[in-house]
Amino acid sequence: MKEDITYICKLSSKLTEREKEDFLNVFNEVFSLDYDMDWFRWKYMDNIYGDSYMVLAYQGDKAVGARSFWRNDIDGHLCYQPCDTGVVKEARGRGIFSKMTLMALDETKDGFIYNYPNDNSRPGYLKLGWKINKYYYMKLVMSNKNLEEESKYIEDDYLLWRFAKSPINKYFYCEKGGQSYLLVNRKNNIYYVLGRFKSEYGKYFTKVNSPILFNYTTKETMMYKLFKNKATIVSFEREGQDSSKIDIPIFKGDHF
């Protein structure tokens, strides 16, 4: 007989050192990573918005599931982004993902919930009550003017915490038409534009010259018609919430 699963849901600042290690161990095991406490501290303890909600599932003394609702506000709105989720192989098929999600939802009733699921996880979210919020499509950058109009500004404090201080990813930038753009490298000289920022912060990133740029737009593009590639943003709307008042930018995605 399989041992019962027990759960805890805590604010990130309330986790014990053992619980932090348990979270890391589950996440690293499921995704074959080697993230350490520096990553956890940067993402969750040094978060400029405050505490995230963390859920752990245990079978006896062993952590078998981990789930976070990462605090990631938008334009002054209290927001959480579900991410960093895993259930170890031997514990799958027991409803642990759903249970952890429902526990976190119960603790975040005052917040707006949004995330960027891939094709594999999206059906699970929709089944739990999430709805499609918007789509982002890739577009080859041909005009500096259009690039500025379609790229949202990244606030200074968020830029420094989320991107400049990231212990796991490297980011780049370029200058176009007097504007500085934060970039993520796709491959070779191809870069995706995440947003605009103050040029004085370029010193924190690696400058690239003459990159091939692709931008995200909410308008369906020729690239999508040809390759059917798009990013989907989903949100969990509670009674009385109006998601139309919250414009979710692409750069808030945990996956970048």
What would the pLDDT profile of 47-79 be if each residue is shown by its tens digit?
A: 999 999 999 999 999 999 999 999 999 999 999
The predicted model scores a pTM of: 0.95
Task: Write 240-243 long-range contacts (CB < 8 A, 24+).
Answer: 241/112, 243/112, 243/133
99: tokens are 């249970």
Q: How confident is the model at residue 255 (pLDDT cuts 50, 70, 90)?
A: very high
Element (H, E) at 123: helix 122-127
pLDDT digits (tens, 9 = 90+) for 185-239: 999 999 999 999 999 999 999 999 999 999 999 999 888 888 788 899 999 988 8
**DSSP-assigned states of every residue in 173-219:** EEEETTEEEEEEEEETTEEEEEEEE-GGGGGGSEE-SS-EEEEEESS
Structural domains in the chain, CATH included, are 5-110 (3.40.630.30), 136-231 (no CATH)
